[in-house]
Amino acid sequence: MAKQILVVGSVAIDDIETPAGHRSDSLGGSATYFSTGASFFAPIRLVAVVGSDFDAAELDDLRSRGVDLEGLEQVPGKTFRWAGRYGADFGDAETLDTQLNVFEDFDPKIPESYRETPLVFLANIHPELQGRVLDAFEGHRPELIGADTMNFWITGQRDALLKVLSRIDLLVINETEAHMLSGKKNIYDAADAIRAMGPKILVIKRGAYGALLFHPDGLFVAPSVPLRKLADPTGAGDTFASGLMGYLATCDTLNFEAFKRGVLAGTVLASFACEGFSFDRVKTLTRVDFDERMMQLRALISVD
């Protein structure tokens, strides 16, 4: 049986424009993408906040996927909203509007029933909030603590972020963030510098160029999945992390081999997310779909 995963992050309503189309009032947020993706593998415990305007049907959908919502607060006010636009190359989104709303005063509360969760993932939120979550696990440290961050926190909250990094096992960031965090131009030097900050396991996402896993037992290079169709890359990074952590939740031993396979699982899951707006494609994903694409990806790295 898969181990439980606790995720702390944002739940949002997005307005997204890409070369493939436009979607208004689309469910988003780092914790939502993570929960939806990881629930494909394991039971999820979600800690986040939404406003009184949040659609109850969306909560029902999360519950139907085995997501425990005891840690999700619903408070008076409006849910966090974000609007973004992607250019012709589907690169980094241009933020058009951000309304923090109830997320501005978010103070994650970890229910007592969550405090022995074996795997914890700190999605992209203020590092001080990430630190408060870790404080709740004093005395019963999880088997694995993973985290994400972004350039805004790297430049604006560096001291708080460094404190978090000293307390985690796994960091998942993109290549630009890795160079920014480390101050190093060479990717290997960057990885060495980041791992010296605390996380002994580092995954650097490289978009269309795949991902790099730096582990105490070695280096693993995973290719990306070549896609014929690209609709919306929003949440692809969160979905990658959900596949990685979700796969690890199914493993008895969290060794180098498990992390390598986890990186491949994250790559596959993120590729499906990019094929539809929001969670459209992930919601319809079947085990057959996943296994077929995993075999295709593994064939790309096989020399037998």
Q: Is the pLDDT of residue 303 over 80?
A: no
Q: What is the pLDDT of residue 92?
A: 81
Q: Is the pLDDT of residue 24 over 70?
A: yes
Domains in the chain: ranges and CATH: 5-301 (3.40.1190.20)
Q: Is the pLDDT of residue 304 over 90?
A: no
Residue pair 238/34 in contact by the 8 Å Cβ criterion: yes
Determine the angle formed by the axes of helices 287-301 and 256-274, rounding to 10 degrees.
120
pLDDT single digits (tens) 272-288: 999 999 888 988 899 99
Rounded CA-CA distance 204/188 in Å is 11
Q: What is the pLDDT of residue 273?
A: 94
Rounded CA-CA distance 260/244 in Å is 9
Q: CB neighbours (10 Å) of residue 163?
A: 17
Confidence (pTM): 0.95
Phi and psi at 194, nearest 5°, equal: -70, -40
Of the chain, the end-to-end C-alpha distance in Å amounts to 32
Return the percentage of the chain with pLDDT > 70, whole number.
100
pLDDT single digits (tens) 136-187: 998 889 999 999 999 999 999 999 999 999 999 999 999 999 999 999 999 9
pLDDT single digits (tens) 202-256: 999 998 899 999 999 999 999 999 998 899 999 999 999 999 999 999 999 999 9
Side-chain-side CA neighbours of 60 within 13 Å: the count stands at: 3
Task: Mention every residue, 6+ apart, whose C-beta is less than 8 A from residue 99.
Answer: 78, 80, 81, 82
Per-residue burial over 84-98, b if 16 or more Cβ lie within 10 Å, else e, is bebeeebeebeeeee
Q: What is the pLDDT of residue 169?
A: 98
